[in-house]
Amino acid sequence: MEWLDAIIQGILLGGLYALFATGLSLIFGVMRLVNIAHGDLIVLAAFLGLAMVNGTGVHPLLSLIVTVPVMAAIGYALQRGILNLTLGRDILPPLLVTFGLSIIIQNVLLEVFSADTQRLKAGALETASIAIGDQIAIGWFPLIVFLAALGVIAGLQLMLFRTRLGMAFRATSDDHRTAGLMGIDNRHVFALAMALALGVVALAGTFMAIRTNFSPAIGPARLLYAFEAVIIGGLGSLWGTLAGGVILGVAQAIGAKFHPGGQILAGHVAFLIVLVLRPNGLFPRTRDR
């Protein structure tokens, strides 16, 4: 029973990791950009939520009404103003620029919010749970996070395959030069992809802030989890990213059962095993040139 409980908690935690990773996966899929600042953007969103909650006293989940569009707007401006200029044949410039961005975000957050660890308080929601039998209880909040991850990924998948914008995303993903020749404005399409990604980041950052303590320095570790989830699932595949997040979450929960310090290590080991056995991830895109 204890093991079943660990696995269930791991799956739910995986939902959060999947939300960390979804934006990264989408951006890589559409424009082959590896965003080193992704983790710090998650933390930035968490602090935005904190400022909202402290300033107005609203419930953290309600603050999403503001933080999601704000982060999306930041994403659009960031892509149009900076990142579009770094994209080209060479993969190094975007890596360097987003690495610099990561340092800038960390230091600005440090300057504004200090190095103190923070927490978003969600009241009764933090401890509310559904009891299943005597030994297993599922927390409402982890469940909400997991369902949100499912919803976000299902929504993005629908968008990719059912809408005009999704068609533009898939076309630029396959060949952005030819997409330009077909009348698609890549600069705009890339910026919309980044806006969507950072909208999801706002969701992920707020959920993270309710679940755990956070400080300006924890961004790179979130980036690592996001990367691992994306690689386990297979580059550019959104459902794969969800699976990757869940595998990471379950591995961590099982690792924690063996040894209290084994949680993080078990996640990394699971990642390494997948990398060795299936270097392209579990659900790679069917075709890539």
Partner 1 sequence: MTALIALDGVSKSFGSVKATDRFSMELADGEALGVIGPNGAGKSTMFNIITGGVRPSEGRVYFAGRDITRTPAHERCRMGIGRSYQIPHPFANMTVFENLLVGAAFGGSRTEAASYEDCHEILDRTGLLQKANALAGALTLLERKRLEMARALATRPRVLLLDEIAGGLTEHECAALVDTIKAIHRTGVSIVWIEHVVHALLSVVSRLVVINFGRKLAEGDPHEVMASTEVQEVYMGISAE
Residues binding partner 1 (CB under 8 A): 164, 167-168, 170-171, 173-175, 177-186, 285-289
Quick one: tokens of 285?
């895109």
Q: Least distance from C-beta 190 to partner 1, angstroms? A: 12
In this structure, are residues 201 and 49 in contact, taking their beta carbons and an 8 Å threshold? no
Give me the residues paired with residue 214 across strands. 118
Q: Least distance from C-beta 187 to partner 1, angstroms? A: 8
Q: Report d(CA 108, CA 138) in Å as an integer.
A: 37
Q: Report d(CA 231, CA 150) in Å as an integer.
A: 19
Q: For residues 93 and 180, which CB has a smaller minimum distance to partner 1 in the complex?
A: 180
Q: For residues 182 and 273, which CB has a smaller minimum distance to partner 1 in the complex?
A: 182
Q: For residues 180 and 220, which CB has a smaller minimum distance to partner 1 in the complex?
A: 180
Compute the radius of gyration of the chain from its Cα atoms.
19
Q: For residues 221 and 288, which CB has a smaller minimum distance to partner 1 in the complex?
A: 288
283 contacts: CB under 8 Å, gap ≥ 6: 233, 234, 237, 239, 240, 243
Q: Least distance from C-beta 1 to partner 1, angstroms? A: 44
Q: How many CB atoms lie within 10 A of CB 194?
A: 29
Q: Least distance from C-beta 188 to partner 1, angstroms? A: 9
Q: Least distance from C-beta 17 to partner 1, angstroms? A: 26
Q: For residues 160 and 226, which CB has a smaller minimum distance to partner 1 in the complex?
A: 160
**Which helix (H) or strand (E) element contains residue 132?**
strand 129-132
